[in-house]
Amino acid sequence: MMVPIPVPHPTHPTQPRSVAVIGAGVTGLATTAALLERGVPVACFDRGAPLGERSAGESRIFRYAHRDPVLVEAAVQARALFSEWAEGLIEPVGTVISGGGAQEWTTAMAASGVEYIENPGLRLPTSRRQEPAVLDPAGGVIRVDRVGELLVKRSQAALRSAYVYALEEKPDGVVVHAGGVSERFDAVVLAAGSGNAPLAAQVGLYPPADLAHHARFTFRLRETAPPSPQCWITTSSAEMHTYQHSGAPGQWAVGVELGPEDTRWEVGREAAVAAAEAATVTYVKNELDLVDPEIVSSLYCTTNPTLDDGIHYRRQGRVLCVYGENLFKFAPLIGRECADAVLNESVPDSLGPAT
């Protein structure tokens, strides 16, 4: 395979000669693509297939709507960057926030000056009234399949299939020990999702390390469901806290947020998935009369229960670590910020609740 010859970036005379990105999820791939675009030689390591862990599946929710104005503004920037990547990566159906928590989200959107519509016309797979509800018209379905195809294509020359088992700081760089080979790099971006904490600790970085279980389930929309349903987040404590959106045509993905008794790591994956399945099917039966409650498919992942929406960066020497929850919607922004931080030897501002 032809590997493109990197073109030095004229504004960064001291740019690193080599960068390792650990993780080929959406954040690692976005970073790799941004570095390649800036002419920096990169190796992007992953222990499995690209987009195989937290970035797996075919769809996610995009939204400007957040509880924190700085995250609203980050989402606005990310939306523009998604469009620069390519058209059609986000299906602009809108995102509805309903329930008692909706007010908090509109306050943050108002502070950021982005449009929202109170008591909007709803296209949701339920005939129940939803009050209060607000529409984020810029929201929609992120097509993970299209984003993945684009990023893998752009990063192809850099991808390495190998398990990184150690990072070792040396005076002249960081040695990445992966798959029986040890290689020195000028800089490392740690974008390894659930694999961040053990590698980060080896170089004196301690991002939050808690893990919990989460599972999302997909169902069929009934023929009576409205076409092009909006993405939907329910925030009230009276109902279950959920997120929902269409995936493949005619399908509806539902994620229910359960408490620690059902999701903490010690519960075990099998029991946690069983609890999530029972709660989600009950929710669908009780609340979504336009959805067939038979499960079509499921998606499991780990989450960090101590984190909420937010983008977080930490640096120790030559290693920059990125982490957070619900990062997909920010991916192009994260890629750009990580690439610039590598070139400038800086740390981007973290956004969202402190960790």
Ligand X SMILES: Cc1cc2nc3c(=O)[nH]c(=O)nc-3n(C[C@H](O)[C@H](O)[C@H](O)COP(=O)(O)OP(=O)(O)OC[C@H]3O[C@@H](n4cnc5c(N)ncnc54)[C@H](O)[C@@H]3O)c2cc1C
Judged by CB under 6 A, which of 20, 21, 28, 221 binds ligand X? 28
Nearer to ligand X, 40 or 176 (CB): 176
What character string, x for contact with ligand X (CB under 6 A) and - otherwise, covers 125-154?
A: ------------------------------
Choose one: 43-51, 67-75, 78-86, 100-108; the region binding ligand X (CB under 6 A): 43-51
**What gap in Å lies between CA 298 and CA 308, rounded to an integer?**
22
Judged by CB under 6 A, which of 169, 301, 308, 340 binds ligand X? 301
Q: Is-contact 317 203, C-beta < 8 A?
A: yes
Q: Is-contact 247 111, C-beta < 8 A?
A: no
Q: Is-contact 94 139, C-beta < 8 A?
A: yes
Q: Is residue 46 at the binding interface for ligand X, with CB under 6 A as the rule?
A: yes
**What gap in Å lies between CA 270 and CA 30, rounded to an integer?**
32
Buried b (16+ CB within 10 A) or exposed e, 120-147: bebbbbbeeebebbbbbbbbbbbbbebb
Judged by CB under 6 A, which of 193, 229, 247, 310 binds ligand X? 193
Q: Is residue 305 at the binding interface for ligand X, with CB under 6 A as the rule?
A: no
Structure tokens at 316: 């120790």
Nearer to ligand X, 8 or 204 (CB): 204
- Residue carrying the six token digits 């998606």: 299
CB of 209 to ligand X, least distance (A): 13
The rounded radius of gyration (Å) of the Cα atoms in the chain is 21
Choose one: 131-139, 261-269, 312-320, 324-332; the region binding ligand X (CB under 6 A): 324-332
Amino acid at 306: T
Binding site for ligand X (CB under 6 A): 22-28, 45-48, 52-55, 60-61, 163-164, 191-195, 199, 216, 243, 255, 299, 301, 325-329
